[in-house]
A and B are shown apart, each in its own frame.
Chain A
């Protein structure tokens, strides 16, 4: 009896540990990103020290080839990564959820066609699609990177939304809503979206992590935001030639990138565990 009663509590404890770690890591990046809007240790493009200096009190993770402060660039990198992640997920979610809901309501052949198209799109790597979209726009900018990643993510969101919405639409409470006189748009707004939201939100967190890594990859390949936007991906690329003489230049943005990606994944895991726990309760 007693261990039956204790088990949900124990599980809730683990849940909140994962969630807490995720919130702390992501929260740290958010705090740094917001801080860069009002304060930075150095002017990001000013030559504030010697070239390729090591860590010191003045330059916590040293300087780059041109003597710019790396920590300042790391901090701006947090803001860029979060902006890209949020922007890409917002665009991917808007397009993806709309298409997914449409497919869930579509006639048989349109639904089949949409589902097949989505499967093909998903078979292409996210990064490849993003690169194609960036290549199609004239200039590489922060905006084009966000739009490119958003479009690349939307197929995954659409496929998930379609499946989740279909599962909800066969429920009796949807039929009850129809016989209660609720219109389809209203049914989507008050029944379908709230019921698929928990699972979708976990997926959005995972997509956010993917977008952050993909943005770093785009920047690494020179397809991301151009200077003066400091991106972890570009920092990695710039540090490549000097990785043996000044390893911090590559290690620091690597750690920043990995910590945000892990934080977001922990957050997603924590959210999922919470949702599962709520489900077993009901």
Chain B
């Protein structure tokens, strides 16, 4: 079943410059997809459109068969429960003035999700491998990797079907990176995962399918193993050639 379908979407922040140009791709429910492209190629912009934070200039995006329209408040309320995001910078993604408990509970409160919020926060914390007593502390008391776990806990607390990760491991050191990738991989068995990265090695380790974005256009997509073994587009070939072989092996093992 198709969860997301992006159909001929174009977008620019200003009229002069297109950031996304005629982009189309689809994602199956339950799949793990890697979106790869150099910095500035438009990956974050595409995620913003997928989250309904901005509207395409042309083209359509559908989620679960329904058109994703940010102006449709009733649809967005339902949609927000189902799609959540984890960001790259663990220092900017948690409000420094809020306790971890209120940070993680924000989707529950704002989306008026019924249930014992305190218990749900505790469950989310344990899903990401943090102690329950983290709830009473503040972001500055945690390391980058722990903060990223907290951000993941906030993203999954409302039980979304789709998790978007925007360079979620790029700012972490190698050991932490591997741990968080493992965590995302385990979450990927429970929900659909769209993993954005400029690091092909990590995508190879984590994602079944891969989409390659080059300067506002999708140049290639398909099965990760297949694309990596037989890249068709010259850009993909160059991208692969520039990956140090060692790091590819490292992250896979």
The chain A residue sitting closest to B87, CB to CB, is A172
Contact partners of A186 in chain B: CB under 8 A: 110
Residue B151 CB within 8 A of the other chain: yes
Residue B249 CB within 8 A of the other chain: no
Contact mask for chain B residues 44-73; partner A; CB cutoff 8 A; 1 contact, 0 none: 000000010100000000000000000000
Cα distance, A178 to B110, chains bound together (Å): 9
Residue A1 CB within 8 A of the other chain: no
From known contacts A180-B106, A180-B154, A281-B140, infer whether A195 and B96 are also in contact, taking CB-CB under 8 Å.
Answer: yes
From known contacts A172-B87, A172-B89, A186-B110, infer whether A179 and B51 are also in contact, taking CB-CB under 8 Å.
Answer: yes
Residue A139 CB within 8 A of the other chain: no
Contact B53–A179 (Cβ < 8 Å)? yes
Contact mask for chain B residues 91-123; partner A; CB cutoff 8 A; 1 contact, 0 none: 011111110000100110011000000000000
A-binding segment of B78-86, B127-135, B233-241: B78-86
Residue A182 CB within 8 A of the other chain: yes
Contact mask for chain A residues 154-183; partner B; CB cutoff 8 A; 1 contact, 0 none: 000000000000000001110111111111
Contact B107–A180 (Cβ < 8 Å)? yes
Residue B179 CB within 8 A of the other chain: no
Contact partners of B103 in chain A: CB under 8 A: 173
Residue of A173, A180, A183, A281 with most partner-chain B CB within 10 A: A180
Residue B77 CB within 8 A of the other chain: yes
Residue of B76, B95, B151 with most partner-chain A CB within 10 A: B95
Contact B87–A176 (Cβ < 8 Å)? yes
Which of A176, A180, A191, A281 contacts B111, CB < 8 Å? A180
Contact partners of B76 in chain A: CB under 8 A: 181
The chain B residue sitting closest to A182, CB to CB, is B110
Tally of contact residues, B, Cβ under 8 A: 29
Contact A181–B80 (Cβ < 8 Å)? yes
Contact partners of B94 in chain A: CB under 8 A: 173
Contact B97–A194 (Cβ < 8 Å)? yes
Contact partners of A180 in chain B: CB under 8 A: 80, 84, 106-107, 110-111, 154
The chain B residue sitting closest to A171, CB to CB, is B92
How far does the Cβ of B140 sit from chain A's closest Cβ, in whole Å?
3
Contact partners of B81 in chain A: CB under 8 A: 181
Contact A173–B95 (Cβ < 8 Å)? yes
Contact partners of A9 in chain B: CB under 8 A: none
Contact B84–A282 (Cβ < 8 Å)? no
Residue of A173, A194, A281 with most partner-chain B CB within 10 A: A173
Contact partners of B92 in chain A: CB under 8 A: 171-173
Cα distance, A281 to B141, chains bound together (Å): 9
Contact partners of A195 in chain B: CB under 8 A: 95-97
Contact B107–A181 (Cβ < 8 Å)? yes
How far does the Cβ of B132 sit from chain A's closest Cβ, in whole Å?
21
Cα distance, A179 to B85, chains bound together (Å): 8
Contact A172–B107 (Cβ < 8 Å)? no
Contact A175–B85 (Cβ < 8 Å)? yes
Give residues in B with beta carbon < 8 Å to A: 51, 53, 76-77, 80-81, 83-85, 87-89, 92-98, 103, 106-107, 110-111, 138-140, 151, 154
- 8 tightest Cβ-Cβ pairs between the two chains A and B: A282-B140, A180-B107, A172-B93, A181-B110, A172-B87, A181-B80, A182-B110, A194-B97
**What are 5 A-B contacts with C-beta separation under 8 Å?**
A171-B92, A171-B93, A180-B110, A181-B107, A182-B106
